[in-house]
Amino acid sequence: MESHPKIRSFAPITGKNSRILILGSMPGVASLEAGQYYAHPRNVFWRIMAELLNMPENLSYPQKTQHLCSTGIALWDVLHTCVRPGSLDSAISDEVPNDFAAFFKTHPHISALFFNGQKARRAFKKHVAPSLDINTLPLYTLPSTSPANASWSFERKLESWQSIMNYL
C-alpha cells in the first residue's frame, strides 16, 4: 500500500473584527501548490465572493483576502493536518483539527460559522464541537464551491451562499 505524506492547512485569514467564519475541510492540491485558499481555477469560491461583496474578480490574492477581512469574513479550514492523496474530501484520513479554542478566544466577534461543503461540517462536528461550548453559535452548511460539486450550478450555489450576507 502506497503511503502518502501528511498535508497541512494554512493559517486563518481574519481581521480584528471578523463576524463570520467560513470553514473548508483542507486545501486541495492546487491551493497547496499556490499557497492560497481556493486556488483551483474551477473552484467558484472567489467568484461567489465577488458577486456577493461587489468585489472585482481580477483582484490579486492579497487584495481578495483583504476585501474579505474588511467586510467581516474570516476564512480557515477545520483540519490542521490530514492525509489526502489528491484533492477529494472523500480521500481524507488521519484528521487533526485546528485549534478552535484559541481561535475563538482571539476572535470574540464571530457570530456564525459557515461550512464550505459537507466534509467541513462533519469534521467540525466530530473533532471540534464536542470540546467547545458554541451552542449559541449558528452553524450553516453551504454547498461546496469545489469543481467536484458539479451537480450544483453556479447560480444555485450563489443563491445558497447569499445567506452569509445576513451576518455581515
Give the type of residue at 11: A
* 43 assigned to active site: yes
Here the cell at position 89 is 474530501
**Which residues fall within 8 angstroms of residue 14, CB to CB, at 6 or more apart?**
21, 69, 74, 75, 76, 107
The one catalytic residue in 17, 43, 54, 58 is 43
**3-state class (DSSP) for residue 161:** helix
Cα separation, 150 vs 86, in Å, equals 17
**Which residues fall within 8 angstroms of residue 105, CB to CB, at 6 or more apart?**
none
Which of 161, 167, 137 lies closest to 17, judged by CA? 167
Q: Which residues are catalytic?
A: 43
